[in-house]
Amino acid sequence: MQSKVIYIAGLNNEIQKSQIEQKLLQLHGVHKVLIEKDEGEIFVDFETPASLNNLEKEVYDLGYQILY
């Protein structure tokens, strides 16, 4: 199991936070998603077949900028 943090810009409200959580939790291999809205941090626990690149792409596809 891996734990990673994805830093994003453009997260402004609870609706957006919920949207990201739901999208990531639908991916096979993702076990836990915790979002710190004010900090723009997404904490994700996952295992194969999920990967950090896949997770970042899903967040990007929702319209958020990945910072680093």
pLDDT in tens, 12-55: 999 999 999 999 999 999 999 999 999 999 999 999 999 999 99
Residues 6+ away with beta carbon under 8 Å from 65: 8, 9, 10
pLDDT at 47: 96
pLDDT at 39: 93
pLDDT at 68: 75
pLDDT at 52: 95
Structural domain boundaries, residue 62: 2-66
For the chain, how many structural domains are there in total? 1
Residues in a beta bridge with 8: 66
Cβ-count burial of 49 within 10 angstroms (0-12 exposed, 13-18 middle, 19+ buried)? exposed
Question: How many of the other CB atoms lie within 10 Å of CB of 2?
Answer: 13
Write down the pTM of the prediction.
0.91
Question: Which CATH number is 47's domain given?
Answer: 3.30.70.100
